[in-house]
Amino acid sequence: MSGNTWGRLFRVTTFGESHGRALGAVIDGCPPGIPLSEEDIQQDLERRRPGKHRGESPRKEPDRVEILSGVFEGLTLGTPIALVIWNKDPRPSAYEPLKDVFRPGHGDWSYYWKYGRRDWRGGGRASGRETVARVAAGAVARKVLATYGIEVRAYTVALGGIRAEKWDPAEAERNHLFCPDPEAYERMCARIEEARREGDSLGGVVEIRATGVPPGLGEPVFDKLDAELAKALMGIGAVKGVEIGAGFAAAEKRGSENNDPLTPEGFLSNNAGGVLAGISSGQEIICRVAVKPIPSIAKEQKTINERGEPVTIRIGGRHDVSAIPRIVPVCEAMVRLVLTDFLLRQLALKAFRTHEPLP
């Protein structure tokens, strides 16, 4: 396994480099009969696309997806779905001066040691641009999950030290805000602008919530739902930590505070974040990811080149000040891929348990 494929029953392979010809995904295992159009996928890609706001990379990528296979007369066929997004605005020449220099914090150094050579054009496959393919695949998962009433939404809850105090997704959606607290949103935007002027970058925290998840999704030991969520989210570039439910705060609580009491009307709290013993409890699934500041910054940094010589660099080019907000739809996509895979596994188990006849 080359590490480019995700999932067991709903399998996703992504391909492509940031400054190559195209990126894309092949999805194997999507059930037949799901309505799917390029427009369905496009709406998710639009939220991730660079160049929309100040503080985001100004690279102008239309990020138009083409469905090459697996869909006929507007419905999935059950056969592999191939999606492609052509790169329209690569500018590899901007990376010529960095060709043999390792940018601190990026994948240049570690890719060099793994492969012995690397695509120096913008981080190649280590680029955040790879996530366009995951968001495209995640849109297909969104359509599958919708047939069971499962929805996933994510928002930024902290950025550059500013915390959201409110969770008002309806308001955020109405005004296209990446943060569910409009007041914190304004301060976050100002903080991004400030960091941009200083030639620096910012990190933050994204919270992802999944509603409508039935109890029973997950596996008991290695493929625990929380383990797979953590793996999927940690697999996004710049993500450095994952919490489920109370997460690290659970370590500070007593059992009497941390347990979620059960009543005939349901659970009284959700410190578990919707996962018990690796299997969904039927409560909302809640995860948070810690996103590090963007490594490519205009401020002066010390590094070395491939000959081991010391070099001082200031990185120019078209970089985001923060992976937030563009990472928000990527987090949603990854959670959708995990839930879709587990939904299909549980449906297979349920059909067997109830001995549903085959045609």
Ligand X SMILES: C=C(O[C@@H]1CC(C(=O)O)=C[C@@H](OP(=O)(O)O)[C@H]1O)C(=O)O
Judged by the rule CB under 6 A, the positions of this chain that interact with ligand X are 18, 50, 57, 59, 61, 122-123, 127-129, 132, 237, 317-319
CB-closest chain residue to ligand X = 122
Query: Which run of H or E residues covers position 171?
Result: helix 169-174
Binding residues for FMN: 125-127, 277, 292-296, 318
| Binds 203: which of ligand FMN, ligand X, none (CB < 5-8 Å by kind) | none
Q: Tell the burial category of 16 from Cβ atoms under 10 Å away from its Cβ (0-12, 13-18, 19+).
A: buried
Q: Give the per-residue SS3 of 246-295.
A: CHHHHHHCCHHHHCCCEECCEECCCCCCCEECCEECCCCEEEEEEECCCC
Q: Record the tokens describing residue 3, joined without a space.
A: 């590490």
- Considering CB distances under 5 to 8 angstroms, the limit depending on partner class, which of ligand X, ligand FMN, none binds residue 59? ligand X
| Binding status of residue 238 toward ligand FMN by CB under 6 A | yes
Which CA distances in Å does 39 have to 13, 44, 46, 82? Answer: 21, 9, 10, 15
Q: Which two tokens stand for residue 11?
A: 């399998």
Burial class (CB in 10 A: 0-12, 13-18, 19+), 353: exposed
Q: Which residues contact 184 (CB under 8 A, 6 or more apart)?
A: 162, 163, 164, 165, 166
- How many CA atoms lie within 13 Å of 242's alpha carbon, on the beta-carbon side? 22
Q: How many of the chain's residues bind ligand FMN (CB under 6 A)?
A: 21
Q: How many Å from the N-terminal Cα to the C-terminal Cα in the chain?
A: 35
Per partner kind, with CB cut-offs from 5 to 8 A, the member of ligand X, ligand FMN, none near residue 107 is ligand FMN
- Distance, CA of 9 to CA of 46 (rounded, Å): 27
Q: Which residues are annotated as a binding site for NADP(+)?
A: 48, 54
Distance, in Å, from the CA atom of 97 to the CA atom of 313, rounded to the nearest integer, reads: 10
To ligand FMN, the closest distance from the beta carbon of 97 in angstroms equals 15
Task: By CB under 6 A, name the one of 124, 128, 273, 274 that touches ligand FMN.
Answer: 128
- Which region among 156-164, 178-186, 315-323, 342-350 touches ligand FMN (by CB under 6 A)? 315-323
Task: Please identify, using beta-carbon distances, which residue of 86 and 109 lies nearer to ligand FMN.
Answer: 109
Binders of ligand FMN among residues 324 to 343 (CB under 6 A) are 326-327, 330
Q: Which residues 288-307 are close enough to bind ligand FMN by CB under 6 A?
A: 292, 294-296
Stretch 23-62: interaction string toward ligand FMN, x if CB under 6 A: ----------------------------------x-----
Q: Please say which residue, 48 or 209, places its beta carbon nearer to ligand X.
A: 48
Chosen residue from 65, 189, 236, 313 binding ligand FMN by CB under 6 A? 236
User: How far does Cα 210 stand from its chain's mean position?
Assistant: 14
Q: Out of 13, 76, 87, 127, name the contact with ligand FMN by CB under 6 A.
A: 127
Binding interface with ligand FMN (CB under 6 A): 57, 106-107, 123, 126-128, 131, 236-238, 292, 294-296, 319-320, 323, 326-327, 330
